[in-house]
């Protein structure tokens, strides 16, 4: 019983931590700031997370679990090729507006603070982004193999463009409170896919 | 003499503050963190900046001065139209690697921390980005008017794509330490301009 209750408390606390990280960035999530947010004692939190680093890595793991559940897994159920590439963008857009991340995508919110640091949290964050870029690259490569995109499309390049358009749009639109941003991202994406799809000659 | 010396100290301090902000984000630049970085006393800094907010806004003003000097002004000396749009991207790439910002573009480094806040620092940062987007939009519009880009190009959309590709690339490449990132940005930019330039039919 205690074990189940402990696991359910941990899960609730991680939900608070993820919400907080989406607003202030992962680097600002500490036992102290989380205790305030989750209305728990610091000692209560130390029972679940031995250190700030352990907490931050647990938040990243939680974010990856939800990202796989809400973005990657649904896209993998779509038809191989262009439909799957589209599903990845659609699902990412929903992810970046998920109720459980009131400050938007936790990865975008955390990168700038961590990129100049060293250590396991930075490394883990970099791994999550390498995996996401690889997922996009594989989906684009499949679309090439299926004949949906031209054979001379550079899968890594196209994946890079989709990801950076999405991240750049997310970053700027949250600052400028630009409601047209998702539409701008979709128009950019459609234009880019059209170029991948239709032969130039 | 005291006035001149005071101005020159203030300028040197702002240089340290800009470098610090590029690494940790503007929101983490305080009288305390800057005192440590600039090897000055807090009271010495208070003589120049009355508050954390005043300091952060002074850093933004300093960044804008350098951005105008190193990005906007040189581009405005280029020929109207596509050459000026290209110059804006070229100069932005240099800006994002400037020696005086060891952590990269101070704007990209600061947006995620400030977007969920309210107050004059956030507002000033948003204004700088509105101005930059407007500068890009105007350059694209001139390229349309000059007949370099097609008449049906949406200047705001194209400016948004250039800016978000640049910001997204900067964000992700610093995390992944991806040396190919500037090349990927240039390839994306060339592809996008080609589409703006050449009629589809």
Q: Which of B29, B96, B97, B164 is most worth mutating to test chain A (most A CB atoms within 10 A of its CB)?
A: B164
Q: Residues B162, A88, A21, B173: is their CA dihedral positive or negative?
A: negative
Taking each helix axis from N to C end, the angle separating B52-67 and B106-114, rounded to the nearest 10 degrees, works out to 140
Share of chain B above pLDDT 90, in %: 90
Q: What is the pLDDT of residue B14?
A: 96
Domain ranges of chain A: 60-197
Q: What is the pLDDT of residue B114?
A: 92
Q: Which of A20, A129, A160 is most worth mutating to test chain B (most B CB atoms within 10 A of its CB)?
A: A160
- The rounded distance, in Å, linking the Cα atoms of A67 and A95 is 7
User: For B3-26, how does the pLDDT look when each residue is reduced to its tens digit (9 = 90+)?
Assistant: 677 788 899 999 999 999 999 999
* Chain A interface includes B131 (CB < 8 A): no
Which residue on chain A is closest to B133 by alpha carbon?
Answer: A172
Q: What is the pLDDT of residue A67?
A: 98
Average pLDDT of every residue of chain B:
94
A175's CB contacts (< 8 A; 6+ apart) are B111, B114, B115, B122, B125, B126, B129
* Chain A interface includes B184 (CB < 8 A): yes
Mean pLDDT of B24-39: 94
* C-alpha B189 chain-centroid distance: 18
Q: What is the pLDDT of residue B1?
A: 40
B126–A176 CB contact, under 8 Å: yes
Query: Taking a C-beta distance cutoff of 8 angstroms, is the pair B107, B101 a contact?
Result: no
* Chain B interface includes A155 (CB < 8 A): no
User: For B179-188, how does the pLDDT look when each residue is reduced to its tens digit (9 = 90+)?
Assistant: 999 999 999 9
Chain B residues close to A168, C-beta within 8 Å? 163-169, 171
pLDDT of residue B142 exceeding 50 = yes
- How close is the nearest chain B Cα to the Cα of A1, in Å? 39
B112–A164 CB contact, under 8 Å: no
pLDDT of residue B146 exceeding 90 = yes
Query: Taking a C-beta distance cutoff of 8 angstroms, is the pair B148, B168 a contact?
Result: no
Q: What is the pLDDT of residue A8?
A: 85
CA dist B113 to B24, B134, B144, B158, Å? 10, 23, 36, 26
DSSP state of B81: T
* Chain A interface includes B129 (CB < 8 A): yes
Q: How confident is the model at residue B199 (pLDDT cuts 50, 70, 90)?
A: low
Mean pLDDT by 10 residues, chain A (201 residues): 73 96 94 94 91 96 98 98 98 97 96 92 97 98 97 97 97 93 96 84 51
B190's CB contacts (< 8 A; 6+ apart) are none
Query: Taking a C-beta distance cutoff of 8 angstroms, is the pair B158, B140 a contact?
Result: yes
Chain A residues close to B104, C-beta within 8 Å? 115
Q: How confident is the model at residue B108 (pLDDT cuts 50, 70, 90)?
A: very high
Superfamily of domain A60-197: Tetracycline Repressor, domain 2 (1.10.357.10)
Chain B residues close to A103, C-beta within 8 Å? 115-116
Chain A residues close to B109, C-beta within 8 Å? 112
- The rounded distance, in Å, linking the Cα atoms of A18 and A3 is 22
Rg of chain A taking only CA atoms, in angstroms:
19
Chain B residues close to A134, C-beta within 8 Å? none
């Amino acid at each position: 019983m205690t074990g189940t209750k402990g696991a359910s408390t941990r899960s609730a606390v991680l939900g608070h931590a993820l919400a907080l990280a989406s607003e202030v960035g992962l680097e600002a999530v500490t036992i102290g700031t989380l205790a305030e947010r989750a209305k728990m004692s610091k000692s209560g939190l130390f029972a679940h997370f031995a250190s700030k680093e352990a907490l931050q890595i647990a938040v990243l793991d939680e974010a990856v679990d939800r990202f796989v559940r809400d973005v990657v897994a649904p896209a993998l159920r779509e038809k191989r090729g262009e439909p799957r590439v589209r599903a990845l963008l659609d699902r990412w857009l929903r992810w970046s507006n998920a109720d459980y991340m009131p400050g938007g995508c936790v990865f975008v919110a955390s990168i700038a603070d961590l990129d100049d640091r060293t250590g396991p949290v930075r490394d883990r964050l970099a791994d999550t982004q390498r995996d996401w870029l690889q997922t996009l690259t594989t989906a684009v490569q499949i679309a090439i193999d299926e004949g949906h995109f031209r054979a001379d499309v550079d899968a890594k390049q196209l994946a890079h463009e989709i990801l950076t358009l999405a991240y750049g749009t997310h970053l700027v639109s949250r600052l400028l409170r630009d409601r047209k941003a998702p539409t701008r991202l979709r128009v950019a994406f459609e234009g880019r896919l059209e170029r991948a799809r239709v032969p130039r000659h």
